[in-house]
Chain A
Amino acid sequence: MKTYLPNRFIVERDPARCIQCEVCVNQCSFDVNYRDADEDEVRSREENCVGCHRCVLFCPTRALNIRRTPLDYRENANWRPEIIEDIIRQAESGGILLTGMGTDKAHPIYWDRLVLNASQVTNPSIDPLREPMELRTYLGRKPDSLTVEPGSLALKTKLAPQVAIEVPILFSALSYGAVSINVHKSLARAATEMGTLFNTGEGGLHRKLYKYGANTICQVASGRFGVHPDYLNVGRILEIKIGQGAKPGIGGHLPGEKVSAEVAATRMIPKGTDALSPAPQHDIYSIEDLAQLISALKEATNYTKPVSVKIAAVHNAAAIASGIARAGADIIALDGIRGATGAAPKIIRDNVGIPIELAIAAVDTRLRQEGIRNQVSLIAAGGIRNSGDVIKAIALGADAVYIGTAALVALGCTVCQQCHTGKCAWGICTSDLRLTKRINPDIGAQRLVNLLRGWSLEIKEMLGGMGVNALESLRGNRLHLRGVGLTDTELEILGVKMAGA
């Protein structure tokens, strides 16, 4: 069938600079650049280009540039180019449109409508270069009160397991198989160096990475891939994955081509078979089932690890979170509509779920109204782009955040949204050995460490500016936030005042 899809990008090759070295041919995994044998010249099949910039950045003479094809349709606010092209694509394929990464739709980004406070006159700002500034956070269930013996000051209360993180930023679930072993290695090493945690995602943990167990969150998802006693016991925190912000309500599908021998061994499935994660966990059809799985995991690990439950932020997130807390979870991870994925139906990625900012506010408020906020730690995920977003999430009520996309961007990802193709030219979201070696775990870890270090320095500056020297004084402290350009209802749900008020 002849395709009616126009090219998306133009690959501009400056003939004065191009030395015909074929680097771009080798770097492009989307089969764009090639040597035309007849003309003996490097050319491009522009229709395949996804705009990932791999060739641009590796071209030794910087001869390449990628531009959007300036192909104009007649203006139409309703039938926009993307909508037309999605229909064309579907008319030609007859299937669900798949995509990768988080939604690219313009859902309101409340981070950009929230501004932070700073000290002036009546209290001094604190200079983090001169004064201690503490970001340490303990994840886990807290009791309502402590019992301390008078006189001896002996602590009589035994606390549930607590996990300290030195920066309030964890690496979000990225499963081995969806991403390569080198990405996992980079994340694990960076988490270890920065005193935080990385999340295995639902594909298990490669034995080679068990040594990073103290900095690992081991996920248990609906497919139960790679879940066995060693796996459960090696991690620091266990996470039951109920949902994901990019695709609430549906499962996952790792195509057989990505299931290499190593992936197969880790996931405990035959090589080359599709790894299908069912939409629900088939042993959890209700909240009391969740309570059972939580206690089963605790039992299996002898009550040494906090158990987290990750849900996609949906309409009733507040009520669901309350149920999760009461079901015995120690941590609730909320993943908002802008959260990313290795592969998801585009229509679901772009339309299902709610923005994380509103979910954090609603959940934190509800848990406080019910007097159980201290029973769980709250981790927010889904579209955290910089340290400003992190600090706003914490002020709204989160204990910490997960970053996924931002971490991948640190590794080279340009958010080209081709993760589902398995061809990621940056070697991140692929198991093609030719591509995965593009991530060097030493360099990858360094880039991630640098990112977290930069963000934590910025968070310290902002905290000091607000006149506090410990992160817990900002957590849930919405008085340090003000809204700009928000409606009364939005302000009410966020629990913040309008700027100027």
Chain B
Amino acid sequence: MIDRDMNKLNNPYNDDKVISACSLFGMMDVSGKVFSGKDIIRAIANMHVRSNGLGGGFAVYGLYPRYADYYAFHLMYMNKQARTETEDLLKENFHMVLAEEIPVNPCIAVSNAPGLWRYFLEPEAASLNGRPADDFVIEKVMQINTCIEGAFVFSSGKNMGVFKGAAYPEDIASYFRLEEYAGYLWTAHGRFPTNTPGWWGGAHPFNILDWTVVHNGEISSYGINRRYLEMFGYACTLQTDTEVIAYAVDLLMRRHKLPLEAAVSVLAPAFWEEIERMPAAKQELHRALRTVYGSLLLNGPFTVIIARQGEMMGLTDRIRLRPLTAATRGDMFFLSSEESAIRLVCPELDRAWIPMGGEPVIARLGGTKVVAEGAVAAAKGAC
């Protein structure tokens, strides 16, 4: 029997979008050294009251070095049949290196936990038929999420993974035994949804390929962001604004190949007045970005931490209606909704600051330390 109970649906009341407020945390060792989840769990737990127990999650990069070349799929199953159908589909299209149940700690009290499995996959050359593997993987993820009742891919990148569910983030961490994992880049999310009874798939981070997004806010431009993305074949099945952010980034950076700085200027563009004051070439670029991609402007209060392999970025809306603090200590780079959470795990900081609205803070792997880039040099409205 297909299970459609309210606890297993995102946005069950068909609201315009899922509305939630949240706590965010991100930490990265830009030298690439891996570290356990211990600190980020403490940090996100420190912001307990910013979430309400209906969603928590983590993304970890550098997670599966042994299988670094394979797409790591994390799946939620609401029933047995969903697993059978999904595995059939995966076997048909991929070479499956490993399939296993994600280890959990059954002593942790969480409700409505689905079946949790992971697979390491390589697309069959025959199924690819010359197409880029990433496009193929996206298509299969969408296919599973929209066509197989009760199955949901919540992580699909290489050498990274998302762990999430409908509980406080610290409980999710214990449930998934995250202290036992190591990565060089972690992001975490505690969620306060106003209209979801707690479907595990609705928690953050939201993921597609190796992109993850954790998000605090409500995108008031959601309606048009979504309609614009639909023109490019993205089906926004989850009806959440976070999903829209992930697809927007995928469209801009992977498909349209825009550099991160340009993509950021689409999501949180400079005001026209500021654009008028830029030097000619820059002005032309920013004007063109806004003119062409105006429908992807993320309007309304938000803070996001967007990560992919080797890179983590924090960004707020252009008048900064949601909080974000950035900090550095040696090779460590932190992003958080509250500075206190950073100080908890790293009391001594080289630098801690509140980035300007719409101005991305970016950390990249490699020789360079943290790059705090002002894609928009001028100060934004609210400081």
| Residue A444, interface by CB 8 Å | no
| Residue A16, interface by CB 8 Å | no
Tell which of A122, A146, A153, A473 touches B221, judged by Cβ atoms closer than 8 Å. Answer: A473
| Residue B218, interface by CB 8 Å | yes
Q: Are A368 and B231 also in contact (CB < 8 A) when A138-B291, A142-B292 are?
A: yes
| Chain A residues whose C-beta falls within 8 Å of the C-beta of B319 in the assembled complex | 126, 131-132, 469
Check B297 against A473 for contact (C-beta < 8 Å).
yes
Q: Are A145 and B220 also in contact (CB < 8 A) when A151-B259, A479-B16 are?
A: no
Tell which of A142, A147, A472, A477 touches B223, judged by Cβ atoms closer than 8 Å. Answer: A477
| Chain B residues whose C-beta falls within 8 Å of the C-beta of A151 in the assembled complex | 259
| Residue A19, interface by CB 8 Å | no
| Residue A248, interface by CB 8 Å | no
Contact indicator per residue, chain A 463-490, by CB within 8 Å of chain B (1) or not (0) = 0001111101111111110000000000
Contact indicator per residue, chain B 370-383, by CB within 8 Å of chain A (1) or not (0) = 00000000000110
Q: Are A155 and B288 also in contact (CB < 8 A) when A123-B301, A468-B300, A469-B319 are?
A: yes
Check A123 against B300 for contact (C-beta < 8 Å).
yes
In the complex, A480→B257 CA distance in Å? 31
| Chain B residues whose C-beta falls within 8 Å of the C-beta of A476 in the assembled complex | 223-224, 227-228, 295
Contact indicator per residue, chain A 108-124, by CB within 8 Å of chain B (1) or not (0) = 00000000000100111
Tell which of B258, B292, B299, B382 touches A468, judged by Cβ atoms closer than 8 Å. Answer: B299
Check A371 against B291 for contact (C-beta < 8 Å).
no
| Residue B131, interface by CB 8 Å | no
Can you name the residue of chain A whose Cβ is closest to the Cβ of B217?
A123
| Residue B149, interface by CB 8 Å | no
In the complex, A159→B288 CA distance in Å? 8
In the complex, A474→B297 CA distance in Å? 10
| Chain A residues whose C-beta falls within 8 Å of the C-beta of B301 in the assembled complex | 123-124, 467
| Chain A residues whose C-beta falls within 8 Å of the C-beta of B292 in the assembled complex | 142-143, 145-146, 159, 374
Check B218 against A159 for contact (C-beta < 8 Å).
no
In the complex, A66→B297 CA distance in Å? 53
| Residue A97, interface by CB 8 Å | no
Check A132 against B19 for contact (C-beta < 8 Å).
no
Q: Are A472 and B295 also in contact (CB < 8 A) when A132-B381, A146-B258, A151-B259 are?
A: yes
| Residue A162, interface by CB 8 Å | yes
User: CB within 8 Å of A: which of B221-238?
Assistant: 221-224, 227-228, 230-232
A246 nearest CB across to chain B (Å): 31
| Chain A residues whose C-beta falls within 8 Å of the C-beta of B381 in the assembled complex | 131-132
In the complex, A371→B230 CA distance in Å? 9
In the complex, A147→B288 CA distance in Å? 10
| Residue A150, interface by CB 8 Å | yes
Residue from B231, B256, B297 whose CB has the most chain A CB atoms within 10 Å: B231
| Chain A residues whose C-beta falls within 8 Å of the C-beta of B180 in the assembled complex | none
| Chain A residues whose C-beta falls within 8 Å of the C-beta of B220 in the assembled complex | 119, 123, 466-468, 473, 480
| Residue A134, interface by CB 8 Å | yes
A201 nearest CB across to chain B (Å): 28
User: CB within 8 Å of B: which of A370-410?
Assistant: 371, 373-374
Check A469 against B230 for contact (C-beta < 8 Å).
no
In the complex, A55→B229 CA distance in Å? 57
| Chain B residues whose C-beta falls within 8 Å of the C-beta of A469 in the assembled complex | 299, 318-319
Question: How would you classify the secondary structure of chain A's contact residues: helix, strand, loop or mixed?
Answer: loop
In the complex, A306→B94 CA distance in Å? 49
Residue from A123, A131, A138, A480 whose CB has the most chain B CB atoms within 10 Å: A123
Tell which of B194, B257, B261 touches A122, judged by Cβ atoms closer than 8 Å. Answer: B194
| Residue B136, interface by CB 8 Å | no
Tell which of B16, B224, B271 touches A474, judged by Cβ atoms closer than 8 Å. Answer: B224
| Residue A48, interface by CB 8 Å | no
Check A470 against B295 for contact (C-beta < 8 Å).
no
Check A159 against B291 for contact (C-beta < 8 Å).
yes
| Chain B residues whose C-beta falls within 8 Å of the C-beta of A501 in the assembled complex | 14
Contact indicator per residue, chain B 355-383, by CB within 8 Å of chain A (1) or not (0) = 00000000000000000000000000110
User: CB within 8 Å of B: which of A146-174?
Assistant: 146-151, 153-155, 157, 159, 162
Q: Are A153 and B259 also in contact (CB < 8 A) when A368-B230, A473-B299, A480-B223 are?
A: yes
| Chain A residues whose C-beta falls within 8 Å of the C-beta of B273 in the assembled complex | 132
Check B227 against A145 for contact (C-beta < 8 Å).
no
Q: Are A147 and B257 also in contact (CB < 8 A) when A469-B319, A475-B224, A476-B224 are?
A: yes
B101 nearest CB across to chain A (Å): 37
In the complex, A477→B294 CA distance in Å? 12
Can you name the residue of chain A whose Cβ is closest to the Cβ of B318?
A469
Tell which of B14, B289, B300 touches A146, judged by Cβ atoms closer than 8 Å. Answer: B289
In the complex, A160→B170 CA distance in Å? 52
| Chain A residues whose C-beta falls within 8 Å of the C-beta of B321 in the assembled complex | 123-124
| Residue A224, interface by CB 8 Å | no
B308 nearest CB across to chain A (Å): 15
A side interface size, CB within 8 A: 45
| Chain A residues whose C-beta falls within 8 Å of the C-beta of B284 in the assembled complex | 155
| Chain B residues whose C-beta falls within 8 Å of the C-beta of A253 in the assembled complex | none
A31 nearest CB across to chain B (Å): 53
Check A146 against B217 for contact (C-beta < 8 Å).
no
User: CB within 8 Å of A: which of B265-310?
Assistant: 269, 271-273, 281-282, 284-285, 287-295, 297, 299-301
| Chain A residues whose C-beta falls within 8 Å of the C-beta of B137 in the assembled complex | none
Check A371 against B221 for contact (C-beta < 8 Å).
no
| Residue B245, interface by CB 8 Å | no
Residue from A151, A368, A371, A469 whose CB has the most chain B CB atoms within 10 Å: A469
| Residue A136, interface by CB 8 Å | yes
Q: Are A470 and B288 also in contact (CB < 8 A) when A119-B220, A132-B273 are?
A: no
In the complex, A155→B259 CA distance in Å? 11
Check B297 against A470 for contact (C-beta < 8 Å).
yes
| Residue B21, interface by CB 8 Å | yes
Check B281 against A162 for contact (C-beta < 8 Å).
no
Check A134 against B285 for contact (C-beta < 8 Å).
no
In the complex, A368→B227 CA distance in Å? 8
| Residue B352, interface by CB 8 Å | no
Check A371 against B231 for contact (C-beta < 8 Å).
yes
B292 nearest CB across to chain A (Å): 5
Residue from A119, A142, A148, A474 whose CB has the most chain B CB atoms within 10 Å: A148
Check B256 against A145 for contact (C-beta < 8 Å).
yes
| Chain A residues whose C-beta falls within 8 Å of the C-beta of B299 in the assembled complex | 467-470, 473
User: CB within 8 Å of A: which of B292-346?
Assistant: 292-295, 297, 299-301, 318-319, 321
| Chain B residues whose C-beta falls within 8 Å of the C-beta of A157 in the assembled complex | 288
In the complex, A149→B261 CA distance in Å? 11
Contact indicator per residue, chain B 1-38, by CB within 8 Å of chain A (1) or not (0) = 00000000000001011010100000000000000000
Check B259 against A150 for contact (C-beta < 8 Å).
yes
User: CB within 8 Å of A: which of B189-225?
Assistant: 194, 217-218, 220-224
| Residue B262, interface by CB 8 Å | yes
B8 nearest CB across to chain A (Å): 22
Check A373 against B224 for contact (C-beta < 8 Å).
no
| Chain A residues whose C-beta falls within 8 Å of the C-beta of B271 in the assembled complex | 132, 134
Check A477 against B221 for contact (C-beta < 8 Å).
yes
Check B223 against A478 for contact (C-beta < 8 Å).
yes
| Chain B residues whose C-beta falls within 8 Å of the C-beta of A480 in the assembled complex | 220, 223
Check B285 against A123 for contact (C-beta < 8 Å).
no
Given contacts A119-B220, A150-B259, A368-B231, could you give 16 more A-B pairs where the C-beta distance is less than 8 Å? Answer: A122-B218, A134-B272, A142-B292, A146-B258, A146-B292, A154-B281, A374-B292, A466-B220, A467-B220, A469-B299, A472-B295, A473-B221, A476-B295, A477-B223, A479-B17, A479-B223
Q: What are 19 A-B interface contacts by the 8 Å CB criterion?
A: A122-B218, A131-B382, A132-B273, A132-B319, A132-B381, A146-B293, A153-B259, A154-B281, A159-B292, A371-B232, A374-B292, A467-B220, A468-B300, A469-B318, A473-B220, A477-B223, A479-B16, A480-B220, A480-B223
* Chain A residues with a Cβ under 8 A of chain B: 119, 122-124, 126, 131-132, 134, 136, 138, 142-143, 145-151, 153-155, 157, 159, 162, 368, 371, 373-374, 466-470, 472-480, 497, 501
Q: Which 6 A-B pairs have the closest CB atoms?
A: A479-B223, A472-B294, A473-B221, A473-B299, A477-B223, A467-B220
